[in-house]
Structure 1
Amino acid sequence: MDVNFTLRLREDLQYLHVKASTVDVRRKLLKYLPTRKLNRNIDTSMIQEFLLSGSIGVTCLVALVTGLVVYWLIQKWKYNFPPGPSGLPVLGNALQMDSKKLHEQALEWSKKYGPVITVRLVDVFTYGGKDIVFGNYGPTWKIHRRLASKALRYYMQGDALEHRIHEAVKTAFDEIDTISGQFDPVEYINFIVVNIITGLCYGGKYEFKDKEVQYILETGDEFTEKLGAGTWEDIFPPLRHVYKTALFKDVEAITDQLMERFIRKKFKEAESTFSKENIRHFTDNLILARMEAEEEDGGEAAKGLDEDHLVQTLGDIFFAGIDTSRFTLRFALLHMVAFPDIQEKVQEEIDNAVGRDRLPGVGDRPNLGYTEAVLHESMRLSSVVPTGIAHVASRDTEVSGYRIPKGTNVVINHWGLHHDPNAWDDVDRFIPERYLDENGKLGPKPKSWLPFSAGTRVCLGEFVAKPELHLIFASLMQRYKWKMESGLCPDITPVGNTFQLATKPYKVIAEKRV
């Protein structure tokens, strides 16, 4: 925030403290509201009219805002926050942000203010921080994370994942083989991914066009769309306890549908039929890991973990796994249509390393380095979760010389990292070779390639997602040659919001190779 703005605000607050009436407060606050529309959703003339109305509600609101402004100034003086775009008191940058392109805005702001910037934004939905994705770092979170990781590794010990993938792609291939001409591949990619993740979490499998698959996908898409639109409760979290907007109520209702009526129901079903002698899926492994933790050290390791923690863990793995995987594969397939020479190289590598008589397996990954490099480059350019997940500073800390107070939301702009011209040569070009060593093998991960985040809060399911995505992608490339009708050009421009990016709808032709 610029110095002149801060000095003006300080003078006005001193005036209001000494002799202001409520009307004075309202008129002073109006000085800090722009007279134009800040974005397509909010007209500040409505706010101005509201402030001058003189109602009791306005008086209370103004008093609250004045107190918050004073608190905000104290925080500003106390901490050396990173620089960032100037905003309004209390509202911060909320009225400046474009929820569909915040990741792009943040990259532009970083060019002016540096790699660490301050932007005022959002709150999240969770069972009071009882999940792994949004939960605050601490002793309970570490135990929770360890149990979930242990459960996943139990599941990955055998060939269960490979078997699930092969079963799902074969069913999808049987359907695709019957299609002549162009079609939308989204339905088939969605089916493959949902079948795999459902089998991993709960066991069982779906038939093509199963109603539960459609429910999962449609409800999940609706949740992402509404959450990405942003609500007033994001700007003023206490508002949810006083008056909930229609959009916020919709998001709450969808959250209840997904977590209570689906995830918790699945958990209860697994718990009621659980047997230590017959571990069937990730949910069973999670229940087993909790039981073992309760038996260790007199149960100290499992203290503080209730059913909500386990339900939220299932929700994290299930929905995060489905959305990121299906959007990543949609981009990867579209990139292969856009770059047919690269598609041919992938298929040549698969033919040489695997052949055409069997599906690629987990054991083939070391010999499919170029295929994996192609997938990595597609993930970089698409960045389907552009700003990752917001986490909270567990204590006052320092980053690049700036003081960050405890409780501050910290976000990594993955899209910005992946599109930074200072980190990548020919940043907008599709170049798989940038991930290979001099022997043509997959080399060390570039430090600016972080689709799964990094550090203690790295994606829990990374070691499952990587082989899953690789095997599905390799199977699709092995089976078909993918292209568009003659004269059509693929549009790889992403659509979505700061929470999630996807491809525009597209149609392809699949020519059978196997």
Structure 2
Amino acid sequence: MSILSNWFDGMRMTSVILDVLDIRMVLLCSAVFLLLSWVMRRSSVSNLPPGPWGWPLVGSLPSLAFATGEPHEVFMRMAGKYGPVFSLNILGQRMVVIHGYSAIREAFNNPNLNDRPELHILKNLFNGAKGIATASGETWKEQRKLSLNIFKNFGVGQARFEDQIATEADHLLEEMKLIKGDAFNPVHLFGNAVSNVISSVVLGKRYEYDDKKFQLVLASMDRSMELIGAGAAMQFLPVVNNLWFLPSIREMTSTMKYVMDFVMEVVEEHQKDCHEGESRDLMDVYLREMENKKTNNIHTNLSVLNLVILVSDLFVAGTETTANTLRWGLLFMMLHPEIQTRVQDELDAVVGRERLPQMSDRQNLPYTEAVILELQRRGNIVPLGLPHKAAEETKLMGYTIPKGCLVIANHWALNIDPELFPDPDQFNPERFLSDAGEVTKPEELIPFSTGRRICLGEQLAKMELFIFFTYLLHQFTFTKPSEEPELSLGGHLGLTLAPMPFKVCATPR
């Protein structure tokens, strides 16, 4: 019995050993295959931009994972080593990171470098529906053209839209007066005020500051932007499809879905009560255009799901960037009370105390305008923007960019380039003033990016920044609450670079 038992034990051991050897052989063969595939991919395109050596499978990921600092800081150091155009391989996805105005301008004006990669979370949530931010090709062209026409017809960014922004700015002032000079965090008020401006255009209504449902939407939107990360590059990698179990991916999916479900509800309401010839907002015009094309058998990429993503894109983009710039504005005014006083003195001299500022005053407020430009440069709220994708193999700055490659621009590095902006860490509005006291904006300052993918709402954002900023400083003086810790210029990085949370006292003037 013992002999039989020993024989079976021996056979089991032999089987285990063979299984282990088989597994090892499979792993070895797989590794060799992947290594050869990696080498072949690496050698398939000649004249790639230089970059750090990549490991098989993971590529340049270790170089980034063990580097200190935020991605835009790491990339700037790499640019110092490899040059203004360098390449990375992240888990099999080729990326090219560009630095300097010449490279950014050349890249973003190249029609072959204006696609977007697939945002996999949206693909999973809404069956690949696209708005503007993540769309490419004909879908992007059709929806961007329609959106621009709608904005033009509604006067967005034009002089006749000023009253709509001013009305919301008045609501913001009234809310701040109710606080009676006590310390408060401006996140909630600024987010609500700015979002109401774009909301009036795309959703057809504004929301009160105590609307709890809308506050949850804004909070979900903020959290999504925080989780998506700098430049959102990692979210465009195919590997994200297999990382659904990670808490951050699951939370981001949940928060994005909450925002889009909210938009879907508004779309469905519009479908029920949309009347022929009535154009209350972007949704009405979009739905009518979609039905007209379908009725006349005209091919179109317009759809209800694309509308949901489009409105969400505009809603997020129209809120996050401007609200964060205004928060940076308060922070810098508290840190530089002498600049705040000089803006207030200019406002008083030009506008007076009997009325509020208007867009027509802008040309007579050069110092105030220079302060806003310096806020955009120093706030640096979109460090890496959104990635572009090469639709075809193309040339950039003498290098070959392969088809499907992601292209990421380091806007943060551009804004602190000492050759363009001497003493870049200093907050100095006078860098944008000529000897004659006139505003001089260099072409290298591109807070709304450049090229064919330039921000759709650039003119609207400029009007918002001017009206909200001048209203705030015309009516209040901003100071740090005495019991609060020292103010910090450290940023909180998501898709945008937001100030660290702070409180402020707004004293009526």
Aligned-residue offset at 1:181? 3.5
Aligned-residue offset at 1:62? 6.9
SS in 1 for 2:384: coil
In structure 2, the residue matched to 1:103 is 72
Is 1:258 aligned to residue 259 of structure 2?
A: yes
Is 1:89 aligned to residue 56 of structure 2?
A: yes
In structure 2, the residue matched to 1:442 is 439
Is 1:510 aligned to residue 509 of structure 2?
A: no
Is 1:353 aligned to residue 350 of structure 2?
A: yes
Is 1:416 aligned to residue 413 of structure 2?
A: yes
In structure 2, the residue matched to 1:467 is 463
Aligned-residue offset at 1:427? 1.3
SS in 2 for 1:126: helix
Task: Give 2:472's match in structure 1, choosing from 447, 465, 476.
Answer: 476
Amino acid of the structure 2 residue aligned with 1:106: F
Q: Contact (CA 8 Å) 1:186, 1:330: kept in 2 or not? A: yes
User: TM-score if structure 1 supplies the norm length?
Assistant: 0.79
Moved more, 118-127 or 248-257: 118-127
Q: Once superposed, what is the RMSD of the aligned Cα atoms?
A: 3.2
Is 1:73 aligned to residue 39 of structure 2?
A: yes
User: TM-score if structure 2 supplies the norm length?
Assistant: 0.80
In structure 2, the residue matched to 1:11 is none
How do residues 67-466 of structure 1 correspond to structure 2 at under 5 angstroms? 67-79=33-45, 80-97=47-64, 101-121=70-90, 124=119, 125-127=121-123, 128=128, 130-136=130-136, 138-156=137-155, 161-178=161-178, 179-228=180-229, 237-238=238-239, 240=241, 244-259=245-260, 261-288=261-288, 290=290, 300=298, 303-443=300-440, 445-466=441-462
- The answer for unaligned runs of 5 or more in structure 2 is 1-18, 94-117
Aligned-residue offset at 1:92? 1.9
Q: Give the 3 Å change call, closer, same or farther, for CA 450–237 of structure 1 in structure 2.
A: same
Structure 1: distance between partners of 2:486 and 2:198: 29
Amino acid of the structure 1 residue aligned with 2:241: R
Structure 1: distance between partners of 2:20 and 2:457: 53
Structure 2: distance between partners of 1:466 and 1:58: 61
Structure 2: distance between partners of 1:495 and 1:165: 28
SS in 2 for 1:90: coil
Q: Give the 3 Å change call, closer, same or farther, for CA 77–371 of structure 1 in structure 2.
A: same
Amino acid of the structure 2 residue aligned with 1:96: S
- Deviations for 1:464-513, whole angstroms, at most 9, x for unmatched residues? 11111211111111111112246978534232235221112222222212
Structure 1: distance between partners of 2:425 and 2:328: 15
- Deviations for 1:20-78, whole angstroms, at most 9, x for unmatched residues? xxxxxxxxxxxxxxxxxxxxxxxxxxxxxxxxx96999987776665444333223223
Amino acid of the structure 2 residue aligned with 1:78: S
SS in 2 for 1:388: coil
Structure 1: distance between partners of 2:23 and 2:160: 59
Q: Contact (CA 8 Å) 2:231, 2:385: kept in 1 or not? A: no
- The answer for unaligned runs of 5 or more in structure 1 is 1-52
Structure 1: distance between partners of 2:154 and 2:142: 19
SS in 2 for 1:403: strand
Q: Give the 3 Å change call, closer, same or farther, for CA 240–358 of structure 1 in structure 2.
A: same
Structure 1: distance between partners of 2:234 and 2:477: 48
- Deviations for 1:346-372, whole angstroms, at most 9, x for unmatched residues? 222222332232332333333333222
Amino acid of the structure 1 residue aligned with 2:57: V
Structure 2: distance between partners of 1:404 and 1:311: 33
Q: Give the 3 Å change call, closer, same or farther, for CA 382–464 of structure 1 in structure 2.
A: same
Moved more, 476-485 or 383-392: 476-485
- Deviations for 1:250-269, whole angstroms, at most 9, x for unmatched residues? 3223222222x112222222
Structure 2: distance between partners of 1:357 and 1:291: 50
Q: Contact (CA 8 Å) 1:102, 1:498: kept in 2 or not? A: no
Q: Give the 3 Å change call, closer, same or farther, for CA 89–450 of structure 1 in structure 2.
A: farther
- Deviations for 1:419-448, whole angstroms, at most 9, x for unmatched residues? 1222221111112222234543333x4232
Structure 2: distance between partners of 1:473 and 1:252: 34
Structure 2: distance between partners of 1:360 and 1:419: 31
SS in 1 for 2:58: coil
SS in 2 for 1:87: coil
In structure 2, the residue matched to 1:16 is none
Q: Contact (CA 8 Å) 1:484, 1:507: kept in 2 or not? A: yes
Amino acid of the structure 1 residue aligned with 2:310: T
Amino acid of the structure 2 residue aligned with 1:170: D
Aligned-residue offset at 1:221? 2.4
Q: Give the 3 Å change call, closer, same or farther, for CA 512–408 of structure 1 in structure 2.
A: same
Q: Give the 3 Å change call, closer, same or farther, for CA 177–90 of structure 1 in structure 2.
A: same
Q: Give the 3 Å change call, closer, same or farther, for CA 233–401 of structure 1 in structure 2.
A: closer
Structure 2: distance between partners of 1:159 and 1:270: 28
Q: Contact (CA 8 Å) 1:203, 1:281: kept in 2 or not? A: yes
Moved more, 473-482 or 429-438: 429-438
The alignment of Structure 1 onto Structure 2 pairs a total of residues equal to 455
In structure 1, the residue matched to 2:102 is none
